[in-house]
Structure formats: structure tokens, C-alpha cells
Structure 1
Amino acid sequence: MATGLNAALWWQTLWRILAGIFGAMSFSTAGALAAGLFQGDPHRNALAIAILFGSGGGLGIVLAGASLPLMLDAFGPGAWPMGWVVIGTVSLSFLPLGLWAALQLRPAAQSQTKTAPLPLRSMLPEMAGYAGFGLGYIVYLTFLSAWMTEQAASAGFIALIWVILGLCICVSPIVWRPILARFRSGLPLALILSCIAIGSALPVVLPSGSALLISAVVFGLSVFMPLGAVTSFSRQNLPPESLGRAISLFTVVFAVAQTLGPYGAGVVGDLYDNIGISLLAAAGLLLSGAVFALLQKPLQPSSI
């Protein structure tokens, strides 16, 4: 909401920083809590993790994607502040549900034993893969509308692409749940990153409306699932008392990479005066992350 109240650069920067800090906190705490659900049922646990990171974000993209392009087309760029206020109001309406859920929680019994340190060296491939996700995925979401505008796409088509992308994000937990539940290695993350890379590169390799539609489907079915993949990996390989620290560590890696990704993509796009080059570079980073993730083996009990 605050973003729509003042266009000054310092104001916008302040609220981006605060949103990033508290957004990271929400990812870490929600991920740790979801990982603690249904401990005796890996399939339901994987579904809970996937729904957390998939369905909510997908619904938000559907609502914003269906309305903002058409609103901007009708009222011009000057309507952006109104869009931010509306988005903030809708987001704020979910606060009572979050508070209700928090009041239902009971703190877990504190263990008297010393918590073992995280096996960082054994987790390096998964962390490197997750860094590749942070560097690459945000480029598509940041520059997709600009890319479609460069291709002379109409506001209605831009809105359609965003709605399809958001709907695919909503159903992505169903697609990836069996894989998250079955594998303790980095294979789920590697498969997901490969799909995100294909979705990112497809509009540039095949610049057509149909390719954009396919790209939105492939990208949407995968883009929020790396969060579920690393959470599921942590739950399956680490003791319960280490979940919070592991997910926080992954979130820090992600946050740093996500900060660098759009900046680097903007530099590349300006250098070549072509956003398409930025999308291809992002796809390359995502594929590199997939290769690293593929090297991740299940953690042995001795490494925990």
C-alpha cells in the first residue's frame, strides 16, 4: 500500500527493502511450519509444502495479471499508484487468517540436547542450485511484460498470459507432489529448474503468441516449486530441530541471488539493447543451477 503513496526513489527503495526483509521471514517461518506437518505421511507433507509455495502466489498473479494490464491500458501509466494500493488492500485482507492460524499453534517442546550443526559441505550442491534459481527465475517475471510490449502484444493478450501463468502456479503442487515425496536427493530441484529455464528461453527462441502461451504454462507449473523442493529436501534429510535453520539458510542464499538477478539482467539488456538476451542469460543460469542440484545426494545419517 505504501508503494502507491509516494513516487520518490528513497520511499520506493525503503519499502522494497522492508518487503524483502519481512518476505524472507515469512518464507522461512512458513516453510519450517509446513515441513512439520504430517510427519508420518510424506505424500501429505509434500502436498502441504507445495501448496504453501504454489497456490497462494499463483492466485495473486491471477488477480494482478487479470486486472493491472487492462487498467494501465485504459488509464495509462499514471494508474500505477492505484494498482499498488489495491494490491496492498487485498493482501492486508488475509492478515486475520494469518493471525488466526498463529493463535492455533503450540510451541514444540524444547530439546535439552545440543542441536547438531548443519552439514553445510554436504548441502552445497542444493544451495548452489537454489542460488541459480534466485538468479534466473526473477528475470522472466521482471521483464515478461516489457518483452511482450516490445513484441507489440495487446493489453488483453498480456493479461491472458499472466492469468495462465498464475493458474498453472496454482496447480503446480499437484504436478510436483509425487516427485517431492519420492526423492531425497537434488533431483526434484534439478528437474524444476530445467523446466523454468525452458519456459524462460522459449519466447525468445520461438517468438510467437503460441510459444508465449506454452512458455507461460511450463514456467508457471515450475516457478514456485524450488521453494517446496528445498523445504522437502530439508525435511527428509535433517532432524526436525534443524529445519528452521536450514530453511533460513536457503532463504538467505535465495535472497542474495534474487537481488543480483534483475540487476544483472538489466545490465545485459541495456548492453545489447535486447531484453531477449537477458531471458536467454537467465535460462543459462537456471540450467547451471540444475546441473549443481543434480549433484546433490541424500544426506547420510553420519553427515547429520
Structure 2
Amino acid sequence: MKAAQAHPWMVLAGLALGVTVTNSFARFAYGLILPAMKSEMAWTYAQAGWLNTANALGYIVGAVITMLFIGRRSPTLLFAFGLITTTIALLATGLNAALWWQTMWRILAGLFGAMSFSTAGVLVAGLFKDSPRHNALAIAILFGTGGGVGIVLAGAALPGMLDHYGNSSWPMAWVAVGAVSVSFLPLSLWAAAQLSVPVQIQSKAPALPIRRMLAQMAGYAGFGLGYIVYLTFLSAWMTEQSASAGFISAVWVLLGLCICISPLVWRPILARHASGVPLAMILSCIALGSALPVLWPGSLSLLISAVVFGLSVFMAPSAVTNFTRQNLPPESWGQAISLFTVIFAVAQTLGPYGAGLVGDLSHNIGTGLLVAAALLLIGAVIAWTQKPLHLPTAKS
């Protein structure tokens, strides 16, 4: 823990790069590679959406495993194991075009990614214990900047590469993503080792007040249902609108940059509120960003959409992590974050495949984006009703 106290921002940077791998690369790089894979393999939208649903199914298993093991194994160990195995899964995705192979490795990337992603939140909650404001910023940077860096890198490189080498080069794209992930491992694994959070014995932790957390849980489920549709099908929708590879790249880089700075935008709100207000506000912005390109078609609309969506999307995990930290005792953090992760994981399995079906039936994937926006707004309304728990043992 000495290195964590002496170099907390370096430790945070290492953990954030882990999120880049398990969140941005493992889940969202697919959205950039999808148009090439869909064209090369002649997939329907439902088939294309299925692979992100498969990833989400794996995420459920990983989240459940994490929830069971968080009381028996160190979060540091779970984070490191999940990060290494996710990297292997990314490399393997580019080795075979068969749908069964793709499905298997998308499932495993989700499973291993969930183990690392959810324990990253537990680890970073241990930074800046004496400064709630710095801790709120650290949590926001972990999910926001950590996720945004991956989207900037993937957005800057993949559309141009696929356009230059053709759709058949999609395996090379996956190998490239995996290779960058390998380069992040040393710093990420070092950072996790500096935060040797003790095993949280669940029997000593008080039972979670689940009934009083239902609104926050339902809002987070709405996030899982809706957000993934935009990140899965944005490039495919832009390709249908005859957008150039350069413009697709520009939109994704702008999206990623906005994700990177989103912690600075939301930091005051996250630190100020112990209720469901931050999550409700975040979900409303994600919904607006999802619907804008369809309701107001055009290049300017896409750029504004990328800004609004990017400034909000990765702040939803920060909102529930801050809610947990502000309302529950430290010994319950791991259990609560794992529970939120399971709820989110179950919800996001329905989004990509469901939106793909809607796109096939309507012959326009934009309809799927509108349905996703509606689900996000419903989640926002429910989250708005979440009150602070006011537990006497909670640490503010």
C-alpha cells in the first residue's frame, strides 16, 4: 500500500488501462469492426447483434462468479486474472471466422472482463480514503477516462485500417487490439498489486438493504438495456448512411475524447449527491445522444450526438459506485458493486440482439437506436426516485 499512497495517480492510471482493455476493447471495439465482419460474413443485424449479446451473456457469468468469489479471493487477484484472460480472448477472436468460434471468444471476453471490471471499482474505492472528493474523481476517471482511451485509440486506427485493407482484414484488427492490450498489462498488474485490498468476508458484512435500493437498481438495468445499442450499431448505421471511413473515425475519436473528460464534467454532481439524481441525469443524456442522429440526420447531428453520449455513457458505473460508497459501509462495497454489475449484465444481454431484430424488421437500425433511447429515459425516471439510504454506518 506504500506505493499506492506515494503514487496514487499512477496506480489509478494502471487500473484505468485495465478498464480500457476489459471495457473499451473487449466490449466496444466490436462496434468498429462489426461493419467489416457483417459484410464479409453476410450477417443479418440480428446475427451481428448476437455476438455482443454473447459477450453480455459471458459478462453475466463473470459478474456472478465475481460476486461469489469477492468474499473468498482478493480483488487484486480477480482483477489480474480477468485482465490477462481478457487479453488472450481478444487475440483469439481474430484467428477464426466461424460463428461458433466468434461466439465462444465473445462469451469468454465478457466473462473474464466482468471479473476485472467489477473488481477495479472495489480497488479504486480504496484510494483517497480521507478525501471523498478525490475518491469520487478517481472513480469517475477509472470508468470514464479508462474507457475513453480505448475508444479514442480504436476509433483513430480501425476504420482507416479496414477501409485501406478491405473488409477481409477484420482478423488483423482484432489481433492489433489484442497486441495493444498486452502492452498495457505491466502497468495495470503493478497497479493492482499496490492495492492489496483484504478479502472481504461476506459473513461479516451487513445484509444489503436491497428493497431500499430498488430504484437505483432498476435505473442501472435501464442503462444496461439501452447504452450498448449505440456503441454496437453506430458504425453500421453510419456506413448505411454512406459515411466515409474518415468521418466514422472522427466521430469515434470525438466520442472517446468526451468520455475521457467526462469525469471532470460530472465530478461535482457525483460528489454532491448520495441519491439517484446523478444516475437519472446521466441516463437522460445518454438517451438524448442515442436519439439525435435518427431524429435529426446529418453530420452535425452525429458530432453533437458523440459529444453528448460520450460525456455521459461511462459515468453510469461511476454513479452506482459512488452511490455504494456514500450509502454503505466499506465491508459491503464489494458485494454491492458485484450486485449492480450482475443487474447491468443481465439487462445488457437483451440490447444488441433486440435492437438487431428491430433493425431487421424495420430495415433501419435507426429504429433500434430510438427504442434504446426510450428505455434509457424510463430508467432515468425510475432512478430519479432513489433516495439516500442514510445508514448510520455509511462513510460519506
What TM-score bracket applies, with the shorter chain setting the length?
Answer: over 0.9
- Rounded to whole Å, the distance in 1 between the matches of 2:249 and 2:330 is 42
Counterpart in the other structure of 1:225 = 315
Residues 242-264 of structure 1 deviation map (CA, whole Å, 9 limit, x = unaligned): 00000000111111111111011
- Rounded to whole Å, the distance in 2 between the matches of 1:229 and 1:103 is 26
Which stretches in structure 2 are left out of the alignment for 5+ residues? 1-90
Determine which of 156, 168, 171 is the counterpart of 2:246.
Answer: 156
Q: Which has the higher contact order (CA 8 A, sep 6+)?
A: 1
- Rounded to whole Å, the distance in 2 between the matches of 1:106 and 1:71 is 40
- Rounded to whole Å, the distance in 2 between the matches of 1:66 and 1:101 is 27
Determine which of 270, 277, 280 is the counterpart of 2:367.
Answer: 277
Determine which of 115, 122, 134 is the counterpart of 2:224.
Answer: 134
Q: CA deviation at 1:66?
A: 1.0
Residues 32-77 of structure 1 deviation map (CA, whole Å, 9 limit, x = unaligned): 1112222221110110000100112111111111111111111111
Q: CA deviation at 1:110?
A: 6.8
2:124, 2:139 within 8 Å by CA — same for their partners in 1? yes
Does residue 186 (structure 1) correspond to residue 276 (structure 2)? The answer is yes
Counterpart in the other structure of 2:83 = none
Counterpart in the other structure of 1:296 = 386
Q: CA deviation at 1:18?
A: 1.0
Counterpart in the other structure of 1:102 = 192
2:126, 2:195 within 8 Å by CA — same for their partners in 1? no
Query: Mapping of 1:250-289 within 5 angstroms?
Result: 250-289=340-379
3-state SS, counterpart of residue 2 of structure 1: helix
Determine which of 68, 72, 75 is the counterpart of 2:158.
Answer: 68
- Rounded to whole Å, the distance in 2 between the matches of 1:159 and 1:60 is 13
The list of structure 1 runs, each at least 4 consecutive aligned residues, that deviate by more than 4 angstroms after superposition, is: 109-113
Counterpart in the other structure of 1:45 = 135
Which stretches in structure 1 are left out of the alignment for 5+ residues? none
Could you state the TM-score of these two structures normalised by the residue count of structure 2?
A: 0.74
3-state SS, counterpart of residue 297 of structure 1: coil
1:36, 1:240 within 8 Å by CA — same for their partners in 2? no
Which residue identity lines up with residue 84 of structure 1 in the other structure?
Answer: W
3-state SS, counterpart of residue 94 of structure 1: helix
Could you state the TM-score of these two structures normalised by the residue count of structure 1?
A: 0.96
Q: CA deviation at 1:15?
A: 0.9
Equivalenced residue count is 304
Q: CA deviation at 1:111?
A: 7.6
Counterpart in the other structure of 1:21 = 111
Which residue identity lines up with residue 210 of structure 2 in the other structure?
Answer: L
Q: CA deviation at 1:226?
A: 0.2
Residues 279-302 of structure 1 deviation map (CA, whole Å, 9 limit, x = unaligned): 000000000110111010001327
Q: CA deviation at 1:101?
A: 1.6
Change (3 A) 1:207 1:113: closer
Does residue 165 (structure 1) correspond to residue 232 (structure 2)? The answer is no
